[in-house]
Amino acid sequence: MKPQYITNTARETRSLGKDLAEKILKTKIKTKTQVLALRGELGGGKTTFLQGFAKGLGIRQKILSPTFVILKKFKIKHTNFKLFFHIDCYRIKKPKEILDLGFKEIVSDFKNIVVVEWAKRIEKILPPNTIFIDFEFHNKNKRKIIIQWPKKKNA
């Protein structure tokens, strides 16, 4: 079963993002980058969630949708992780476009945390360990957020 959350305010959506970031920071570093793929329509709460997520990572800069620059990079002051990449694929037509920006290298460094908005546009090239987060717009304030954790392989 996929965890589902209902948020009724932007503050609750940011708080959920912050909580998830803090959980990720507590995980032991493995050999794969932590990638989150955000899916949902305009106004679904993706950027609001990311603002809380960045705060949970200790990032003080204001997080805005990087639609026109596609990719933004932030330093993380943490022992396990070093960089946070915020990628917005809204203007991406083909996955090759994001590959040309060094996407494979970014998701190959296990000290990175990568969040992709409009992830449906590059789903075919996302790593198998990606956490998918779906945002459903219910009304002006209410959102349903579903988190799909990667399936664990049998040992």
Read off the DSSP letter of residue 67.
T
The one-letter amino acid code at 95 reads P
* C-alpha 2, offset from chain centre: 17
Cβ contact 39:104 at 8 Å: no
Predicted pLDDT of residue 154: 46
Please write the tens of the pLDDT for every residue from 20-78.
999 988 877 666 778 999 999 887 889 899 999 999 999 988 887 656 678 899 999 87
Predicted pLDDT of residue 1: 59
Read off the DSSP letter of residue 154.
P
Domains and CATH numbers, the chain: 4-26+36-148 (3.40.50.300)
Please write the tens of the pLDDT for every residue from 76-102.
987 788 999 999 898 888 888 899 888
Phi and psi, residue 85, nearest 5°: -110, 125
Model's pTM, two decimal places?
Answer: 0.89
